[in-house]
């Protein structure tokens, strides 16, 4: 998987950055540096191309995911993370996933299918990866969900459903709403920074 890795200072997290549809591994670097300039950064590029736009898994059409592909790519991501941890000398428990949109959906899918493989995750404008499974035990997993009240891609009820599903599985979930659509705002990034600094 195409990615970049920047080593960080000891006792700082490894920020695991996952871009939105059409992005790449460079997209979220300014955000990662803003969150914690001493953190290590592992930033990945989705290896699905949808008309030239990078994604982390296929979709049938907007908002409807190809579940078989989602499962396969989520499994691949676990294998990638395990290898990256060995190659770069960090522990998975030091990862803080920070995903936006399609990247948030892949990070959510890691929690849905592999439980506490991520122990900290920031999901910015996420959707529910799938509604037809019972989630694994997420006790001890910390999640920040950020969402826009006028997001055409992620309706409010879907954000609430995601928070309920993660909470019922035992995750400790914080939800922050912003007066925004699907775009990220400076206020939102500051909220993410504060949460990461407090919890990493």
Q: Does 105 bind ligand MLT (CB under 6 A)?
A: yes
Stretch that binds ligand MLT, among 101-109, 131-139, 156-164, 190-198 (CB under 6 A): 101-109
Q: Pick the binder of ligand MLT from 43, 102, 109, 159 (CB under 6 A).
A: 102
- Which residue's CB is nearer to ligand MLT, number 102 or number 159? 102
151 catalytic? Reply is yes
- Which residue's CB is nearer to ligand MLT, number 102 or number 119? 102
Q: Which of 19, 101, 109, 113 is catalytic?
A: 101
Cα–Cα distance list, 7 to 4, 112, 141, 196 (Å) = 10, 28, 24, 18
- Residue 144 · residue 111 · CB < 8 Å: no
- CA pair distance 180, 140, nearest whole angstrom: 30
- CA pair distance 5, 17, nearest whole angstrom: 10
Q: Does 130 bind ligand MLT (CB under 6 A)?
A: no
- Which residue's CB is nearer to ligand MLT, number 74 or number 101? 101
In the complex, least distance from residue 142 CB atom to ligand MLT, rounded to whole angstroms: 22
Q: Pick the binder of ligand MLT from 11, 52, 61, 62 (CB under 6 A).
A: 62
Stretch that binds ligand MLT, among 8-16, 23-31, 59-67, 78-86 (CB under 6 A): 59-67
- Which residue's CB is nearer to ligand MLT, number 96 or number 128? 128
User: 100-110 burial string, b = 16+ CB within 10 Å, else e?
Assistant: bbbbbbbbbbb
27 catalytic? Reply is no
Q: Does 20 bind ligand MLT (CB under 6 A)?
A: yes
Q: Pick the binder of ligand MLT from 43, 74, 101, 146 (CB under 6 A).
A: 101
Strands (E), the chain: 3-6, 14-18, 40-44, 48-50, 53-55, 59-61, 64-65, 95-100, 120-124, 142-148, 172-178
- Residue 189 · residue 32 · CB < 8 Å: no
DSSP bridge partners of 55? 48
Q: Which of 19, 94, 113, 151 is catalytic?
A: 151
CA-based nearest residue to 192, from 182, 178, 181: 178
Residues that bind ligand MLT (CB under 6 A): 20-21, 59, 62-63, 101-102, 105, 127, 153
């Amino acid at each position: 998987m195409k990615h970049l890795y920047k080593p960080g200072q000891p006792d700082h997290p490894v920020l695991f950055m996952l871009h939105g549809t059409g992005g790449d591994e460079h997209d979220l670097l300014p955000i990662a540096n803003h969150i914690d300039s001493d953190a290590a950064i592992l930033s990945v590029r989705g290896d699905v191309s949808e008309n030239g736009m990078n994604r982390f898994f296929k979709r049938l059409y907007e908002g409807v995911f190809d579940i078989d592909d989602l499962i396969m790519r989520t499994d691949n991501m676990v294998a990638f993370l395990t290898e990256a941890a060995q190659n770069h000398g960090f522990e998975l428990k030091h990862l803080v996933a920070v995903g936006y949109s399609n990247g948030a959906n892949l990070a959510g899918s890691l929690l849905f299918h592999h439980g506490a493989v991520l122990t900290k995750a920031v999901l910015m404008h996420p959707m529910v990866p799938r509604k037809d499974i019972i989630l694994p035990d997420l006790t001890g997993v910390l999640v920040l969900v950020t969402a826009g009240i006028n997001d055409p891609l992620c309706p409010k009820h879907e954000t609430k459903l995601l928070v309920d599903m993660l909470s019922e599985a035992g995750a400790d979930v914080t939800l922050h709403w912003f007066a925004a659509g699907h775009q990220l705002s400076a206020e939102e990034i500051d909220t993410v920074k504060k949460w990461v600094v407090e919890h990493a």
